[in-house]
A and B are shown apart, each in its own frame.
Chain A
């Protein structure tokens, strides 16, 4: 994107601990347009979790970065990400949200495709050239790139993007910590929270890795927690750190007072819960030793994978992805993950925990949405009041979980992709 030299996107001066983000980045329709091409076309984007398609023929249809995607497991058990459009005249082939099918028939002219996207038959075949069916162009087209890491499935529209495992960089270690909770694998639990926020998508990125806002934005949630847990574990002073994981990814890792279904007990869960949590914890110690077991069981992780995936390993496990529809409107999909070998007791408490805090009906997420929407409204003053400040903790060798290193990691990557060298919009400024 062409730099507007009069106003850079970021103002950065490490020596003076200045890190400012132009509010225009959240409001400008030109920026919104450029992000589509420079960020969303050139990143790995979360499509879904392999557990959503347990059997051959299972499918879900999903919109990712404006594309209609058909995510299937074919008859041989291979996962496929297809562009959900008929090679004939373009109609969406699959119009159901999810299900199991031996084949997909486009209702417009009746072409039939396998779950691998290959054309099986079309009415009036005799009127087509010989060998028409064997042409690659007669099949539903696969998404340019599709790769998975530990059942997290990603797509990219950039043919030449680096392999997913390299792209994930330091985020891989944190996905491992989450996936290592169980040897039996994790699954998406039925039920999708589909919502929206009338704010720029980058506000949700910031909010998802913001350890600073909790005590004020979520004061009423912590009041509630005090009423439920009969004395909290660890206290809010559990502490922790924020980390830049490379390629724009970031994480907070910290202790917190809420119960964790794997595996931090709270008094409200009673003796049955204590036995179950001890069993899970002991198993982790056996598999990984005490140090890693403690980290898996008791530390919380708010993991952000650039540009739009959040995996929270907190009072429950959540996967959340979001897309901008306009500079000031985003849509969000969120799921709960749980271990496949979880007891019904633990599954119930996990979901109970999830709903307390998370999601559009929880005791916290609506207040986040309110904060983001009021930021967006505040940005109406961006012509005069131009800058956000995210310098908290810049002077520290090891910034805390409630500093703003994580956001700086995101914005630095965002800026590098939006304004690639030699036109850099990072400016050193005097205070």
Chain B
């Protein structure tokens, strides 16, 4: 079987961005392995900080990620009701390393979010560990390193980055 190439990874990440932009979150969740993590550290932490002893914005295991998706699909997730409109650009995709059945990838993201007449920009770098199983790519780690200082003026990460 041929090795995963950057173009495969790009296709995968573009698909992920598309699912998120369409608010197809339950399908998006299927992209993750059962032991996956999704993390967004605070911007004054080193990029390899651990969520076990540092304060993050988000540090979800697979269970809480599932709960995050459930929550965001409810009317009572007020910050995202009605759902905001988002537009994601993923670029500068690079393969950083390869394991037996994993590929480490970094990509730059720019996500525009519009709600109630205000448009905010989220930007930064996402580091992924992708698991390749029988040709199928899944996410086992996703860590979004926000560019900029803090979360101003948008103030919240109510969407998935």
Contacts and interface: CB of A to CB of B under 8 A. Distances in A.
Interface of A: 97-98, 189-198, 217, 219-221, 223-224, 227-228, 329, 331-332, 335-336, 344, 347-348, 351-352, 354-356, 359-361, 363, 365-367, 369-371, 373, 377
Contacts of A336: 55
Nearest to B71: A220
B45 A198 contact: no
A193 B57 contact: yes
A332 B56 CA distance: 15
B59 A366 contact: no
B54 A355 contact: no
Interface string B125-158: 0000000000000000000000001111111111
B34 interface: no
A189 B71 contact: no
A57 B79 CA distance: 42
Given A192-B150, A220-B76, A228-B63, 18 more contacts: A98-B44, A189-B54, A190-B49, A190-B53, A191-B45, A191-B54, A195-B156, A198-B155, A223-B71, A335-B55, A355-B56, A359-B55, A361-B57, A361-B157, A363-B67, A363-B71, A367-B79, A370-B78
Nearest to B41: A191
B49 A363 contact: no
A269 to B, nearest CB: 14
Contact of A195 (B40, B70, B118, B152): B152
Contact of A227 (B42, B51, B58, B67): B67
Nearest to B149: A194
B24 interface: no
Given A344-B53, A351-B53, A361-B58, A191 B153 contact: no
A142 B57 CA distance: 34
Interface of B: 40-45, 49, 51-59, 63-64, 67-68, 70-71, 74, 76-80, 116, 118, 149-158
Contact of A369 (B77, B118, B150, B156): B156
Contacts of A192: 42, 44, 55, 150
Contacts of A354: 55
A336 B151 CA distance: 17
Nearest to B117: A377
B153 A196 contact: yes
Contact of B57 (A98, A217, A359): A359
Nearest to A358: B55
Interface centre among A97, A195, A220, by most chain B C-beta atoms within 10 angstroms, is: A220
Which of A219, A228, A329, A335 gathers most chain B CB within 10 Å?
A219
B76 A219 contact: yes
A331 B150 CA distance: 10
Given A361-B156, A367-B78, A348 B118 contact: no
Contacts of B67: 224, 227-228, 363
A220 B77 contact: yes
B78 A198 contact: no
Contact of A366 (B49, B70, B150, B157): B157
A392 B125 CA distance: 47
Nearest to A373: B116
A329 B153 contact: yes
Shortest 7 CB-CB contacts between residues of A and residues of B = A194-B150, A191-B55, A361-B57, A366-B79, A361-B58, A191-B42, A366-B158
Nearest to B77: A220
Contact of B44 (A191, A360, A367): A191
A58 B66 CA distance: 41
A195 B76 contact: no
Contacts of A197: 155
A220 to B, nearest CB: 4
8 contacts: A220-B74, A223-B71, A224-B71, A351-B59, A360-B151, A361-B156, A367-B77, A370-B158
A258 to B, nearest CB: 14
B155 A190 contact: no
Contact of A348 (B41, B45, B53, B63): B53
B138 to A, nearest CB: 23
A371 B155 CA distance: 13
A347 B57 contact: no
Among B43, B51, B76, max chain A CB count under 10 A is at B76
A323 to B, nearest CB: 12
Contacts of A370: 78-79, 158
Contacts of B63: 228
Nearest to B115: A370
Given A97-B44, A354-B55, A355-B56, A331 B78 contact: no
A61 B80 CA distance: 35
Contact of B43 (A194, A219, A223, A348): A194
B19 to A, nearest CB: 20
A194 B52 contact: no
A73 B144 CA distance: 34
B152 A331 contact: yes
A363 B77 CA distance: 8
Contacts of A360: 57, 151, 155-157
A197 B153 CA distance: 7
Among A224, A332, A347, A359, the most chain B Cβ lie within 10 Å of the Cβ of A359
A2 to B, nearest CB: 32
Nearest to B73: A220
Q: Which of A97, A335, A355, A371 has the most CB atoms of chain B within a 10 A radius of its CB?
A: A355
A352 B58 CA distance: 9
